[in-house]
């Protein structure tokens, strides 16, 4: 059995947003799919550790903003590398609008949004699979959708400089940024994803 077969599955990338009682949040997922067309339904699988998963469970609704090839790495850092439990991702964030269901969708680096209402929530252990009826949507741009492979090759910064080959470095476990040096300063903050020194691992490239 070659487990790399799983790598052959292709994924899109999406910002998943939801809200309850005026508390908005969003996170990045790669698991949105249309599952039926009549009626129009989509499914998403969301890790239970994501604050957005909890918001969807409580509110029964969510938006998917489809990330395009114009998405910046900053957008991935903003929605993907920090938790809405610790901060308000929409405080001072202007690249968003509210759709008819009252939830935010993202207007920068996206090419469409889809609003949906949860019909079923299936407990998968680490994740919840939500099956939801589409109740609104719009196209925002003609830029092609970003695949996970496109993100890896074109959007994510090249974080391993060739000069460090064979050396001991510290790698950010969140975004892959590489710090060159034997010792990492205790107060170091990742310049890409803003995570602290405790999220770095010492490794040899």
For the CB of residue 30, give the shortest distance to Fe ion in the complex, in Å.
Answer: 19
* Residue number with CB closer to Fe ion (96 or 174): 174
* Residue number with CB closer to Fe ion (159 or 168): 159
Q: Which of 116, 101, 114 is nearest to 140 (CA)?
A: 114
Establish if 77 lies at the interface with Fe ion (CB under 5 A).
Answer: no
The helices-and-strands tally (H runs, E runs) of the chain is 3, 12
* Residue number with CB closer to Fe ion (103 or 172): 172
For the CB of residue 197, give the shortest distance to Fe ion in the complex, in Å.
Answer: 11
For the CB of residue 192, give the shortest distance to Fe ion in the complex, in Å.
Answer: 5
* Residue number with CB closer to Fe ion (127 or 195): 195
Q: Which of 194, 55, 56 is nearest to 118 (CA)?
A: 56
CB 161 within 8 A of CB 178: yes
Per-residue binding string, Fe ion, 52-71, x by CB under 5 A, is --------------------
Q: What are phi and psi of 42, to 5 degrees?
A: -125, 160
The one-character DSSP state at 184 is -
Cα distance between residue 45 and residue 128, in whole Å: 6
Q: Find the binding residues for Fe ion in span 159-198 (CB under 5 A).
A: 172, 174-175, 177, 190, 192-193
The distance of Cα 88 from the centroid of its chain, to the nearest Å, equals 16
Q: Which of 42, 11, 64, 49 is nearest to 128 (CA)?
A: 49
For the CB of residue 17, give the shortest distance to Fe ion in the complex, in Å.
Answer: 23
* Residue number with CB closer to Fe ion (19 or 175): 175
And the tokens for 87? 């901060």
For the CB of residue 131, give the shortest distance to Fe ion in the complex, in Å.
Answer: 34
Number of residues engaging Fe ion in binding (CB under 5 A):
7
Q: Tally the C-alpha atoms within 13 A of residue 136's C-alpha that lie toward its C-beta.
A: 13
* Residue number with CB closer to Fe ion (24 or 199): 199
Q: Find the binding residues for Fe ion in span 78-97 (CB under 5 A).
A: none
Site residues (vs Fe ion, CB under 5 A): 172, 174-175, 177, 190, 192-193
């Amino acid at each position: 059995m070659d487990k790399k077969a799983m790598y052959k599955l292709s994924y899109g990338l999406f910002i998943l947003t939801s809200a309850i009682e005026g508390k908005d949040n969003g996170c990045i997922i790669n698991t949105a799919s249309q599952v039926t067309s009549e009626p129009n339904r989509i499914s998403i699988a969301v890790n239970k550790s994501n604050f957005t998963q909890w918001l969807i469970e409580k509110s029964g609704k969510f938006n998917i903003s489809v990330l395009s090839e114009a998405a910046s790495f900053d957008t991935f850092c903003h929605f993907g590398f920090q938790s809405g439990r610790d901060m308000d991702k929409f405080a001072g964030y202007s690249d968003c609008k509210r759709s008819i269901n009252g939830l935010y969708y993202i207007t920068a680096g996206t090419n469409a949004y889809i609003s949906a209402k949860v019909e079923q929530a299936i407990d998968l252990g680490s994740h919840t699979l939500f099956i939801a009826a589409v109740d609104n949507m719009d196209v925002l741009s003609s830029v092609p959708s970003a695949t996970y492979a496109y993100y890896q090759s074109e959007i994510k910064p090249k974080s391993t400089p060739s000069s460090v080959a064979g050396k001991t470095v510290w790698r950010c476990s969140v975004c892959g940024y590489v710090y060159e040096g034997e010792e990492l300063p205790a107060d170091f903050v990742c310049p890409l994803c803003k995570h602290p020194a405790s999220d770095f691992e010492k490794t040899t490239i």
